[in-house]
Amino acid sequence: MNSKNSILLVDPEFDPNTAADCDLLIKVGPDSFSYAIIDKSCNQVKAVYDQQECEDAGIALAAKLKSDNYLSLSFKAVKVAVYTENSIAIPDELFDPAGLNQYAKYFSKEQSVTLYVQPLPDYGFTAIFNLTEFIEDTLSASLTSSKRYDQSAALLALAKGKTSRSLLLDFTVGSFNAAYVNEGQLVFQRCFQTENTEELNYYLLLIINQLKMDAAQTAVHLSGIIHQDDGNYQCISKYFKDIHFNRSTSNEMDSRILDDMPAHYYSSLLALDLCE
């Protein structure tokens, strides 16, 4: 444990000289960031770092990139999922790859001019997004070959294959990312920042009412910083009875270094490994 808000777990047998066989996964939320190192030769988690309650997650990431020796290694591949307010979903039948700039006019924030395309064929749409200039410059300077994703990519990877009505909620200390799928189709996805359980309650009721969701027929799958004894879980259980924890990424990854942690805490981070 580095501080009250961060934790670093490392396999004592991890040899940094094997980084060329490893993938680096980074997840940057509105108030947190985390990373995992996966040895692809044996599909084993070698390190996990998590920092919660960041005043500015982009600045925290930039500082860590300068101070963390593990992040300076040369990896086989780097995947970075970043929260951004500028992300839109275009149905595949309407998506025009030759006219990407036309989609930027729908963005709500002034950010980097670099546009990213994230195909999601399992859900029938393509996501278009950009990042803040600060994060764009940070990633370009330190992780030049990284592949970038919208923050929802990991949660949608966890949702893949769920054919019944399913609400996926991925929590940090101060936010949660929600995705609702029905019969394999994505109906709703959004990230919410919350200061307390009362705000979570408000947003849950908003989701249920706006989507006309039948809570009794909807399974809830939880990941991230939440457990059965906290207020957020009790809030969710007022409306839903079929509640599960996303305990793995379903690809038999060896995550024994996380055995002393709740299994669902880092399932969305590790799900980045499933993103193409």
CA 148 to chain centroid, in Å, comes to 12
Residue 12 lies in a domain: no
Q: Of all helices (H) and strands (E), which one includes residue 158?
A: helix 152-159
Residue 240 lies in a domain: yes
For residue range 177-192, what is the model confidence (pLDDT) as tens digits? 999 999 888 999 999 9
Residue 140 lies in a domain: no
pLDDT band at 166, cuts 50/70/90?
very high
Residue 130 lies in a domain: no
Question: How far is Cα 115 from Cα 182, in angstroms, rounded to an integer?
Answer: 29
Residue 100 lies in a domain: no
pLDDT band at 249, cuts 50/70/90?
low
User: What's the predicted TM-score (pTM) here?
Assistant: 0.93
The whole domain housing 165 covers: 159-245
Q: Residue 48 corresponds to which amino acid? A: V
- CATH code of the domain containing 195: 3.30.420.260
Which DSSP string corresponds to 213-251? --GGG-EEEEEES--TTSHHHHHHHTT-S-EEE----SS
Residues β-bridged to residue 10: 47
Average pLDDT of 90-103? 90
10 Å Cβ neighbour count for 125? 20
Q: How many independent structural domains does the chain possess?
A: 1
Residue 206 lies in a domain: yes
